[in-house]
Amino acid sequence: MRPLAEMAVAVLQTADPWEKTQKSRAYAAEWQAARQAGQTPSIGRCAPPLRPARPDAPALLDPRDVPRRKPGTPEGRCAILHAVAHIELNAVDLHWDIIARFTETPMPIGFYDDWVKAADEESKHFNLMSECLEVQGSHYGALPAHAGMWRAAEDTATDFMGRLAVVPMVLEARGLDVTPGMIKIFQNAKNTQAVDALNVIYAEEVHHVAYGSKWFHFLCGRHNLDPTGVFHQLVRTYFHSELRPPFNEEKRAEAGIPPDFYWPLAQETGAIR
Ligand SMILES: [Fe+2]
Ligand SMILES: [Fe+2]
């Protein structure tokens, strides 16, 4: 078996989204089979690209230029599925990137188990959203998408704790806030395929946020740092948008993100009026 960091970089360098998720799932299965057989496979070292390879379509636009569509229309719902597919594809790359990028910091093997599992689940999520789009006569790449999503990864390319604070603990936690509303839209439209897919995503995303919180707290403990203060500092440094309520306090708590992590930041940025 190749060292894990090399497999991670191979996923990052694959442009075609379906080939990317297929590789991602195959590598995850290889890793998990070795771990279940009691092995400790090598992590190795392999420098990830600053940006992952991406297909020619969708066109990536500035967030302000992505057209807004009403969720009450079939086109609007297709746009939601497309946006979620795009988020999931970014998430596949984000999880393999955290595996390869910070190998200079020694971590317990469980850290890699968690992110391999998360990367595998994101690949499944992308495939689920792609299938929903295809049933609607569309496909990933048919609509423009948000260009800003890799920014958090670039901003935290040299700051491991910053990466954990911003990606799983802010961005993926935001997913927990907004997914129930999306599920409602597809329930109203009687699209059970999309409802089922979004329920899978919603259940599994709680774990990704929890992995972020677990390893963030682990590193705080290693360096004898106050987790709440450090989290606030890192989010102020690397996150360039508002933390905006309503927050899904119950799911955030389940994922190990207590209210004093996010409410003070929401107050500071003026998101509470
Ligand atoms: Fe996901
Ligand atoms: Fe996730």
Q: Is a pLDDT exceeding 90 seen at residue 67? A: no
Ligand nearest to the CA of 89: 1
Distance 219 CA to ligand 1 centre (A): 24
Ligand nearest to the CA of 174: 2
Ligand nearest to the CA of 128: 1
Ligand nearest to the CA of 197: 1
Position 82: which residue type? Answer: H
Distance 222 CA to ligand 2 centre (A): 25
Please tell me the least confidently modeled range out of 32-46, 102-116, 139-153, 197-211: 139-153
- Provide the percentage of residues in the chain whose pLDDT is more than 90: 90
Query: In Å, how far from its chain's centre is CA 77?
Result: 21
pLDDT for 241-271, tens place per residue? 889 999 999 999 999 999 999 999 999 877 6
Beta bridge partners of 211: none
Ion ligand 1, residue ranges at CB < 5 A: 88, 91, 122, 125
pLDDT for 197-212, tens place per residue? 999 999 999 999 999 9
Distance 22 CA to ligand 2 centre (A): 17
- Taking a C-beta distance cutoff of 8 angstroms, is the pair 180, 248 a contact? yes
pLDDT at residue 69 in the model: 78
Ligand nearest to the CA of 168: 2
Mean pLDDT (whole number) for 220-238? 98
Domain extents for the chain?
4-46+68-268
- Which pLDDT band holds residue 54 (cuts at 50, 70, 90)? very high
Distance 122 CA to ligand 1 centre (A): 4
Distance 122 CA to ligand 2 centre (A): 6
Specify the residue for token string 């260009």.
147
Q: Is a pLDDT exceeding 80 seen at residue 25? A: yes
Q: Is a pLDDT exceeding 90 seen at residue 68? A: no
Q: Is a pLDDT exceeding 60 seen at residue 273? A: no
DSSP string, the chain: ---HHHHHHHHHT--SHHHHHHHHHHHHHHHHHHHHTT--------PPPSS----S-SPEE-GGGSPP--TTSHHHHHHHHHHHHHHHHHHHHHHHHHHHHTTTS---HHHHHHHHHHHHHHHHHHHHHHHHHHHTT--TTSS-EESGGGHHHHHTTT-HHHHHHHIIIIIIHHHHHHHHHHHHHHHHTT-HHHHHHHHHHHHHHHHHHHHHHHHHHHHHHHTT--HHHHHHHHHHHH--S---SPP-HHHHHHTT--HHHHHHHHHHTT---
Mean pLDDT for all residues in the chain: 96
Distance CA(89)–CA(211), nearest Å, equals 19
Distance CA(263)–CA(267), nearest Å, equals 6
Ligand nearest to the CA of 171: 2
- Taking a C-beta distance cutoff of 8 angstroms, is the pair 192, 88 a contact? no
Instruction: Look at the alpha carbons of 224, 226, 231, 233 in this order and tell me if their dihedral is positive or negative.
Output: negative
Ligand nearest to the CA of 202: 1
